């Protein structure tokens, strides 16, 4: 693999549910370089989890990737054999799912679950897996618990998930995803619902895991403040399309797309120089107008304040579909009238 090549490169990915007239994901494109954290942000239903599940090859029944490429370490996962895919899923990509309750077994101990994950990831030999971690696996299980900075690992091994706090359960989920030593971690809303101090600790942990270990991290969140805190790049999804993407400083400092602007305006205290996680905005406001407007025009047209403010100028928005285009070297947006240098500038 070329070392300059991103660890993960999603190109023009389209995913569709059987029977649906429109794709749930349309031409989604972004990269995750090694050692970097990329945040995928957007409203509920914008396609964040579906993007993650497409990459991990774990789409729900009825959903199918219908186009594009998912290049992981240079190999297109959409063209890979079932055997190759199983290998990548088991060892190359670690997934932290959105629902902690479904990801953890209530009837097995912490140690048992971690030993099973180590074994599935090829990190532990075929030793008998007893209710508590086997002697051989105990050292590795302990090491995993230490890596996710859980206190008193020796005692934790024999506890059940319900005996842990919410923050400890999230750390356990991270440990499970790390068991196979994956090059890429995908974390779907891993801090949602946690108190601000615990959230901040978990964000710190993710930063160390990505940067210290040259891992790629795709961090999914509806919360722009969390994205700002952790990510070097932000990808904004709206109705299954990337509407804006680029370096965090640029996307948040000079947002070009009206949707990104509306997300920023929903943040209490918007306008401050810093974006602390403790100022978490909660879920973005529910759309007032239909999320899936007429397929002919811009998918944001029904909610766009820029278009509404100057309808004669934006007739184009309802008749033509904007493309995701670069305004600068690394900052792209999908809008005919991106906000450049604080002004609206029509694209040719």
Ligand X SMILES: Nc1ncnc2c1ncn2[C@@H]1O[C@H](COP(=O)(O)OP(=O)(O)OP(=O)(O)O)[C@@H](O)[C@H]1O
Would you tell me which residues interact with ligand X (CB under 6 A)? 17, 24, 42, 44-50, 60, 62, 98, 222
Q: Whose Cβ is closer to ligand SF4: residue 219's or residue 300's?
A: 300
CB nearer to ligand SF4: give 195 or 320. 320
- Check: CB of residue 239 under 8 Å from CB of residue 299: yes
What's the alpha-carbon Rg for the chain, to the nearest Å?
A: 21
Report, in Å, the least distance between residue 259 CB and ligand X: 14
d(CA 94, CA 227): 20
Q: Are the CB atoms for 307 and 336 separated by under 8 Å?
A: no
Residue 118 CA neighbour count, 13 Å, CB half: 26
Residue that is written with structure tokens 């090549």 in the block: 5
54 sits near Mg ion (criterion: CB under 5 A): no
Q: How far is the CB of 46 from ligand X (least distance, A)?
A: 4
- Residue 248 lies near Mg ion (rule: CB under 5 A): no
Residues near 310 by beta carbon (within 8 Å), at least 6 away in sequence: none
The tally of CA atoms less than 13 A away on the side-chain side of residue 176 is 22
CA distance 166 to 4: 38
**C-alpha to C-alpha distance for 346 and 55, rounded to whole angstroms:** 34
Residue 49 near Mg ion by CB under 5 A: yes
> Per rule CB under 6 A, is residue 332 in the interface with ligand SF4?
no
CA distances from 269 to 156, 197, 275 (A): 40, 19, 9
The minimum distance between CB 38 and ligand X, in angstroms, equals 15
Judged by CB under 6 A, which of 298, 327, 331, 332 binds ligand SF4?
Answer: 298
- Report the site for ligand SF4 in 300-329 (rule: CB under 6 A): 300-301, 304, 306-307, 314, 317, 322
According to the binding rule CB under 6 A, does residue 264 interact with ligand SF4? no
Mask for 206-245, x = binds ligand SF4 (CB under 6 A): ----------------------------------------
C-alpha to C-alpha distance for 306 and 317, rounded to whole angstroms: 10
Interacting partner of 109 out of ligand X, Mg ion, ligand SF4, none (Cβ under 5 to 8 A depending on kind): none
First-to-last alpha carbon distance for the chain, in angstroms, is 38
**192 binds Mg ion per the rule CB under 5 A:** no
Q: Kindly report the three-state secondary structure assignment for every residue of 238-273.
A: ECCEEEEEEEHHHHHHCCCCHHHHHHHHCCCCCCCC
Q: Write out the binding residues for ligand SF4, residues 128-157 only, by CB under 6 A.
A: none
Report the residue number, 45 or 247, with the smaller CB distance to ligand X: 45
Among ligand X, ligand SF4, Mg ion, none, residue 222 binds (CB under 5-8 Å by kind): ligand X
Residue 337 contacts ligand SF4 per CB under 6 A:
yes
Q: Find tokens 């090859």 and name the residue.
A: 57
Q: Which stretches of the chain bind ligand SF4, using CB under 6 A? A: 257-258, 298, 300-301, 304, 306-307, 314, 317, 322, 335-337
């Amino acid at each position: 693999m070329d070392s300059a090549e991103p660890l993960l490169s999603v190109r023009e990915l389209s995913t569709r549910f059987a029977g649906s007239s429109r794709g749930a994901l349309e031409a989604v494109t972004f990269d995750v370089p090694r050692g970097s954290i990329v945040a995928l942000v957007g409203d509920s239903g914008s396609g964040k989890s579906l993007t993650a599940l497409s990459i991990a090859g774990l789409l729900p029944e009825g959903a199918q990737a219908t186009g594009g490429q998912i290049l992981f370490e240079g190999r297109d996962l959409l063209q890979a054999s079932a055997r190759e895919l199983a290998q990548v899923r088991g060892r190359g990509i670690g997934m932290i799912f959105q629902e902690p309750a479904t990801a953890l077994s209530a009837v097995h101990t912490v140690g048992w679950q971690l030993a099973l994950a180590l074994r599935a990831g090829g990190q532990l030999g075929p030793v008998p897996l007893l209710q508590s971690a086997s002697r051989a696996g105990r050292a590795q299980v302990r090491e995993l618990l230490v890596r996710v900075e859980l206190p008193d690992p020796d005692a934790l091994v024999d506890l059940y998930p319900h005996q842990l706090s919410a923050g400890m359960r999230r750390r356990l989920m991270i440990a499970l995803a790390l068991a196979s030593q994956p090059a890429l971690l995908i974390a779907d809303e891993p801090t949602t619902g946690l108190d601000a101090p615990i959230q901040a600790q978990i964000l710190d942990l993710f930063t160390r895991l990505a940067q210290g270990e040259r891992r790629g991290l795709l961090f999914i969140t509806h919360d722009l403040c969390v994205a700002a805190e952790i990510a070097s790049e932000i990808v904004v999804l709206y109705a299954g399309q990337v509407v804006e993407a680029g370096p965090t400083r640029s996307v948040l400092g000079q947002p070009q797309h009206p949707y990104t602007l509306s997300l920023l305006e929903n943040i209490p205290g918007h306008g401050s120089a810093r974006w602390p996680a403790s100022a978490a905005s909660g879920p973005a406001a529910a759309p007032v107008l239909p999320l899936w407007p007429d397929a002919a025009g811009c998918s944001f047209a029904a909610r766009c304040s820029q278009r509404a403010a100057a309808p004669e100028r934006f007739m184009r928005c309802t008749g033509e579909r904007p493309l995701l285009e670069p305004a600068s070297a690394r900052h792209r947006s999908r809008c005919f009238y991106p906000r450049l240098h604080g002004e609206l500038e029509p694209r040719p």
